[in-house]
Amino acid sequence: MKNHSTIIANAKETILAESNAIANLANLINTDFENAVKCIIKSKGRVIVTGIGKSANIATKIVATFNSTGTPAIFMHAADAIHGDLGNVQKDDVVICISKSGNTPEIKVLVPLIKSYGNKIIAITGNIDSFLGKNSDFPLNTFVEKEACPNNLAPTTSTTAQLVMGDALAVCLLKLNDFTSKDFAKYHPGGALGKRLFLKVSDLTKNNLLPKVNVTDSITKVIIEISEKRLGVTAVLKEDKIVGIITDGDIRRMLSKTTEINHFTAKDIMGNNPKTILESAMAIEALDTLENNNITQILVVDDHHNYVGVVHLHDLIKEGIF
């Protein structure tokens, strides 16, 4: 069994080999890449991405990236394409063919068929002098000197290069289409990412209780209100308007100084000018406010500055935003 140092050395060697090959891709970008991007932008159809073997695996990821960044795309396996799936290709579609050698039998059958339909072909290949390279409209060179595999056989560096070329296409298209974070959110409504882009403060407060006391209320009532509402805080109101805030920390600090609390009222220990946030604000804004002010709760108000709730840091953690 290989020792610890050998394993680490092999891992580093693999990473460096692939990173050097990727860095060299920048030297292979030319006008064919620019024209390929322009071709996709001008197209009224979709992007069909095809390949076989490990290149097919890379194709599915490129399709996913295109779709999530505003470029409609579908995957078509090269072997299935010549056995019926070629019907996926419509008149205005642009086809991206991925193949390291560019000379696989399936590609040699598929490319002429696509060309006969009049569709433009973008090649992502490690051999631009191959059948695929020569018969494509826009050959994108992903040449690598060798695979990270010590036998120079298993697709490793070459598939990474294909993936990066796909990312380069997707990012260029994203920028040309002025694709924003709001657009991104449309395609990612689920999970933490979607919540960071869509979830509002009102979504966080709707299930929370509404702790509140008046400025003249006793400390006993304040303690009961904070305990019952379980948010570690209460708003202090005067004529239904927020004038202060009391946290459980304020209670502890008071009790550390005196236990004679009967003559105290909420006004005596409240913090003045508490931070507030609109219920229509995004949840991520609430998180920023909490972090920037080193606090764990913030009072929520409506458009008329009426007190409507509390957002606690725990609400943000529970939603996976923090």
pLDDT given for residue 286 in this prediction: 93
Q: Estimate the crossing angle of helix 157-176 against helix 31-42, to 10 degrees.
A: 50
Which residues lie closer than 8 Å to 157 by C-beta, 6 or more apart? 17, 18, 21, 144, 146, 147, 148
Binding site, annotated residues for Zn(2+): 77
Within 10 angstroms of residue 305's Cβ, the number of other Cβ atoms is: 11
Tens-place pLDDT, residues 121-131: 999 999 999 99
- Residue 132 confidence class, pLDDT cut points 50, 70, 90: very high
In a domain, 281, yes or no: yes
Distance separating alpha carbons of residues 180 and 242, to the nearest angstrom: 37
How many angstroms separate the Cα of 308 from the Cα of each of 142, 170, 212, 237, 286?
58, 43, 10, 12, 15
Q: Report whether pLDDT(1) > 70.
A: no
Sequential DSSP letters for 81-119: HTTTGGGG--TT-EEEEEESSS--HHHHHHHHHHHHHT-
Which DSSP string do the residues of 4-70 spell out, in sequence order?
A: HHHHHHHHHHHHHHHHHHHHHHGGG--HHHHHHHHHHHH-SS-EEEEESTHHHHHHHHHHHHHHHTT
pLDDT of residue 3: 73
Look up the domain containing 144 and give its range.
Answer: 4-179
Asked whether residue 59 falls in the same domain as residue 158, the answer is: yes
Q: Which of 117-121, 127-131, 280-284 is the least confident region?
A: 280-284
> Which CATH number goes with the domain that contains 16?
3.40.50.10490
pTM above 0.75, yes or no: no
Q: Write the pLDDT tens digit of every residue in 244-271.
A: 999 999 999 998 888 888 889 999 999 9
Instruction: Determine the pLDDT at residue 122.
Output: 98
Which residues are known binding-site members for substrate? 77, 83, 216, 268
Instruction: Answer yes or no: is 195 within a domain.
Output: no
- Considering the domain architecture, whether residues 141 and 41 belong to the same structural domain is answered as yes
Render pLDDT for 183-212 as a digit per residue (tens, 0 to 9): 776 676 666 666 777 889 999 998 899 999
Q: How far apart are CA 29 and CA 33, in angstroms?
A: 6
* CA dihedral over 318, 244, 250, 262, signed as positive or negative: negative
Domain co-membership, 163 together with 283: no
- Same domain, yes or no: 175 and 229: no
Output the domain CATH number for residue 211. 3.10.580.10
pLDDT of residue 251: 92
Query: Does some domain include residue 126?
Result: yes
Q: What is the reported pLDDT for 260? A: 82
Give the residue ranges of the annotated binding site: 77, 83, 216, 268
H-run or E-run covering 241? strand 241-247
Hey, what are 51's tokens?
A: 């390949």
Indicate whether 95 and 207 sit together in one domain: no
Instruction: Starting at the earlier edge strand, list the strands of the sheet with 233-238.
Output: 212-214, 233-238, 241-247, 271-272
Token code pair at residue 3: 């020792």
Domain boundary among 114, 147, 179: 179
Residue 143's pLDDT band (boundaries 50, 70, 90)?
very high
Residue 102 and residue 211 in one domain = no
The answer to the question of residue 192 being in a domain is: no
Of the three residues 123, 147, 179, the one that is the final residue of a domain is 179
| Same domain membership, residue 271 and residue 174 | no
**150 and 259 both lie in a single domain:** no
Which of 115, 149, 179 represents a domain boundary (last residue)? Answer: 179
pLDDT of 94 higher than 90 = yes
Q: Are residues 32 and 173 in the same domain?
A: yes
The C-alpha atoms of residue 46 and residue 155 are separated, in whole angstroms, by 28
Q: How many domains does the chain have?
A: 2
Banded model confidence at residue 2, pLDDT cuts 50, 70, 90: low
Does residue 77 form part of some domain? Answer: yes
Quick check: is 186 in a domain?
Answer: no
> What is the Cα–Cα distance from 69 to 179, expressed in whole angstroms?
7
If asked whether residues 45 and 95 sit together in one domain, one would say yes
